[in-house]
Every structure is written in structure tokens, then in C-alpha cells.
Amino acid sequence: MPLYQLTAHELHEKLKAREITSADLTQSVFDRIDAVEGQIEGYITLTKETAFQQAEAADVGFQRGDEMPPLAGIPIAIKDVICTKGVLTTCGSKILGNFVPPYDATVTTKLHQQGSVVIGKTNMDEFAMGSSTENSAYRITRNPWDLDTIPGGSSGGSAAVVAADEAICSLGSDTGGSIRQPAALCGVVGMKPTYGRVSRFGLVAFASSLDQIGPFTKDVTDCALMLNAICGHDPMDSTSVNLPTPDYTGFLTKDIEGLKIGVPKEYFIEGMDTEVEGIVHTAVEALRECGASIEEISLPHTEYAIATYYIIAPAEASANLARYDGVRYGYRAEKVDELIEMYKKTRSRGFGEEVKRRIMLGTYALSSGYYDAYYLKGQKARTLIKSDFDRAFETVDVIVTPTSPTPAFKVGERTADPLQMYLSDVLTTPSSLAGLPGISVPCGLTSGGLPIGLQMLAAPFKEGKVLNAAYTFEQHTNHHLQKPAL
């Protein structure tokens, strides 16, 4: 098997035994990129030169027989919304088309501390706003399982490059499902940690009360290793939580005897793809065979999550994106000699359509006379959605649902109707509003050969339970071993 197809934990054993070098591995991944990137278009920027320097640095350690971290020498891609010092960070936007950050995000620093090899920055919906990666100002990323379909979004590039073996692992960000939904649609593992588990320092802000960084990997073991590497308190992010971080690989036991799993009836919605529903029910049965007890639960406010999310996220975005004014960084409209005009022209030319739509929606929801009717109402609905989960976790350990109501849809299919695109996130936004940890793991293919994802959620900071259930399911079913024919 070519090196680019292996997982990080398999490669670590080979690196440690000096069967391979990180330089060989990095070359293998770049060869793969040369072979398939023309079809996938998952990257905005490749950092080949520094990647080989990082690989050689890791190889020095392995050759010396040093104790090397699990992700040392492993080629990893980073979503272009996460700051990388000295490397272009566009957020998929023209307004940051020339932005080279003067600092690293905390997660970037943590990958460097592991001795990982950063191979490039991945494509995304502009400022992480979207569910298909079609809102990128740069390119349309294709789903490796069917090049006529989208990879999901907003972290579509990060999901597609792992699915296409153009990276061993990657980092994405999830605000309303932007890790879990593309992971499901591309047939890889994707995890959104609890809000506060991973530092957001250097993650370009979209909706600050929701944004969270997390990994895309080929299996659950790699997911635990990535989470180990990036989690933890950071004084640079006052919303990062100062709690002990367990070794997440300790939860990979293949034992879920007695684990209580809840299946919310509201997640099997009208209009859901029947194949998705069937495959997810089969997956729930597999969990029962593994020893879990399954019960139907109710999360009665689920149907209000999209409406709530599309008040809160755009409201926060409208404030966060006020900083793109053409003064301190990024694009500035030329030849405008009046300040307000300069702001307006810069922002109107620099932002894409969806970003403007959300800034408008958020500004409206926060504006004088509408605040109570929209923003305050949204915050109260958020309380009800969160309370549903609080109650559910009094009786169950893990909640299992489909990640997305449909498999990957065709490029262009939903771009004409913003509301229809928003509804793609109907099964991931509720847990985002509650700040919960969640994973999507592959659970089968449709008759058309498109991957389906199983979402698993747990109470805040119980990532271990999610990983325990996900690993047991994965080892029992082996859906994760299926690969797209590229």
C-alpha cells in the first residue's frame, strides 16, 4: 500500500522503526497531490518547501532514536481560516487575498511542537459561511467519491484532501456543522470538540460563541491523537477552558457494554433521504450488537435550531467582520479619497455574496427596533435547545443521529436558494448551539456509492464517550476502510 493511504498511527510505527522517513512520506503525499489535485482542488496554498524542511527536522529526531510525538513527521493540512505565520491565510475570501499572518494560531503552534509536516492550506466557504465550499472566492472543491458533487462545507477542502489521500490528517473549524457535515459527505472521521476545549486563538472569527477547531482523519484512533495534540487551556483565548485533558487514546477500548445511547426521533425528519435513514438505523443496530443499550429520546426544540442559528451566527459575524475595513490588513479599494466611501467600496468588492448576505442579516437582527424580536428571541430559543440536551444527558451517555439528511449533492444544486442551503445543517446546528462535542464517522455507502455519516454527541467535555462509541462502531463495522476510486 502506498504511504499516502496509511493512517498517522500506522505511519508513526514505521517512522519509529525507521522503515520509512518523513521525507519519503512527504514525497509520497506530494506525488499523490500531483496526481489527483487537478480533479479535487482541495488546496488554496501548498507549502512544499517548508514541508520538506519540517520532514527533515522530524527525520533527524527519528534517526537519533528520540522519543517522538505521535504526529511527528506526519503530513497535515490546515483550513485556510487558521493563521499560519508567514503563509498566506485567505479564509477563502478576496478581502484577505494577500494576508500573510504575522503569527501562528495556537493549534498551528501545537502541530509544530509535535514536529508535524504542514503541507498546505485548504479551500473553504468564504469565512466558513456555507455548506458546500462553493462560496470560496478561489475554486470549487470536488467530492472524491463523485466529482460532480460537492464535498460539504465549510471545511470542504480539509475533508476532501483527507478522503483523497492528499493529506494524512487535517484541521477544520465547525460553527454549525462545518467539520461534521463535510466529514460525513466525504466518508472520513471529523470531530468538533466541546466549545472551549481547543483554543480559538488565531482562528479567524466567524461566530465567536460557536466556533471550534477540530480534526479530520481516516480513523478514530487518529482523531484521538489529533485531539490530544490540539486541545487544552490557552491564556491567549479567554474562552478556552482550564480543565484537565485526558489522553483520549485511553477511550479506544472496543468496549461499550452498558453504554446508554439515545436516538432522537426529531432527527429523522420529513424529506430525509430514505437510504440515509436505513443506513443509520443499521448503524444503531450495530451499536446494540456491541453491547450498548438503545432508547428513543426526544429533543423537542430541534426544529427551531436553524432559525436560531441564522440569527445568532450572522449577528456575531456582522460584528466580527466589521474589522475588514481596508485599513490594517487585506484588500483596500483603490482611488477612493473619502474614508466611509473607502470602507464601503472595500467591503462591497472584497466580500462575496453569501458573506454580505449574512452581514446584512446579522446587522438587521441587531439593529435598533429589531434586537428584541430577533437577537434576544434567538438567545432565548438557544436556551430551550440547550435544555433539551441537558435533560437528555441525564438519562443517556451518547446521542446518535445521522450527520446530514442527504448524501453529497450536485455542484450548483443549492446555490440559487440560500435557505435551502442553510437547511443542509439541520442536524448539526442544534448541538453547536449547545456547545457539545460531536463526531461524524463513516457508516456506509448509498447505492450510488456516496458515503453516509453517523453523528455521535455527548455532554460538554465528554469527548471520551464520543470517541469510545465511535471507535467501537468503527472496529465492529470497518466502513472507514472504504476508499473512493480516484
Partner 1 sequence: MATITPEEVEHVANLARLEFNEEEIADFTHQLGRILDYIGKLNELDTTDVPPTSHVLPIHNVSKEDAVKPSYDRELVFATAPETQEGHFDVPKVIE
Of 81, 80, 94, 98, nearest to 42 by C-alpha is 80
Looking at 2, 48, 235, 247, which residue binds partner 1 (CB under 8 A)? 235
79, 110, 192, 386: the catalytic one is 79
Within 10 angstroms of residue 235's Cβ, the number of other Cβ atoms is 10
- Can 424 be counted among the known catalytic residues? no
Looking at 39, 53, 298, 383, which residue binds partner 1 (CB under 8 A)? 383
CA distance linking residue 419 with residue 363, whole number of Å: 18
Find where cell 434576544 sits. Answer: 376
Q: Distances from the Cα of 314 to the Cαs of 76, 152, 322, 327, 365, in angstroms?
A: 30, 20, 12, 23, 8
**Residue 100 interacting with partner 1 (CB under 8 A):** yes
CB 42 within 8 A of CB 122: yes
In 234-371, DSSP assigns E strands to 260-264, 293-297
Q: Which is nearer to partner 1, 384 or 392 (CB)?
A: 384
CA 114 from centroid of its chain's CA atoms: 20
**Residue 384 interacting with partner 1 (CB under 8 A):** yes
As given in the structure block, the three cell numbers for residue 476 are 465492529
**Residue 331 interacting with partner 1 (CB under 8 A):** yes
**Residue 39 interacting with partner 1 (CB under 8 A):** no
Q: Is 103 helix (H, G, I), strand (E, B) or coil?
A: coil
- Can 79 be counted among the known catalytic residues? yes
Mark the segment that binds partner 1 (CB under 8 A) among 115-123, 166-174, 185-193, 235-243: 235-243
Looking at 26, 109, 308, 401, which residue binds partner 1 (CB under 8 A)? 308
**Residue 367 interacting with partner 1 (CB under 8 A):** yes
Q: What sign has the CA pseudo-torsion 384, 440, 256, 69?
A: negative
CB 229 within 8 A of CB 257: no
CA distance linking residue 394 with residue 246, whole number of Å: 22
As given in the structure block, the three cell numbers for residue 120 are 498546505
Q: Which is nearer to partner 1, 162 or 210 (CB)?
A: 210
Looking at 18, 63, 303, 478, which residue binds partner 1 (CB under 8 A)? 303
Mark the segment that binds partner 1 (CB under 8 A) among 11-19, 49-57, 269-277, 322-330: 322-330
Cβ-proximal residues to 99 (8 Å cutoff; 6+ apart), any chain: 88, 89, 90, 91, 329, 330
Looking at 174, 325, 397, 463, which residue binds partner 1 (CB under 8 A)? 325
- Can 178 be counted among the known catalytic residues? yes
**Residue 378 interacting with partner 1 (CB under 8 A):** yes
Looking at 43, 248, 251, 304, which residue binds partner 1 (CB under 8 A)? 304
**Residue 435 interacting with partner 1 (CB under 8 A):** yes
Q: Is 458 helix (H, G, I), strand (E, B) or coil?
A: strand
28, 93, 170, 178: the catalytic one is 178
Which residues are catalytically annotated? 79, 154, 178
**Interface contacts to partner 1, rule CB under 8 A:** 98-103, 195-196, 209, 235, 238-239, 241, 301, 303-304, 306-308, 310-311, 318, 322, 325-332, 336-345, 347-348, 351, 356-357, 359-361, 363-364, 367, 374, 376-384, 386, 418-419, 422, 433-435, 460
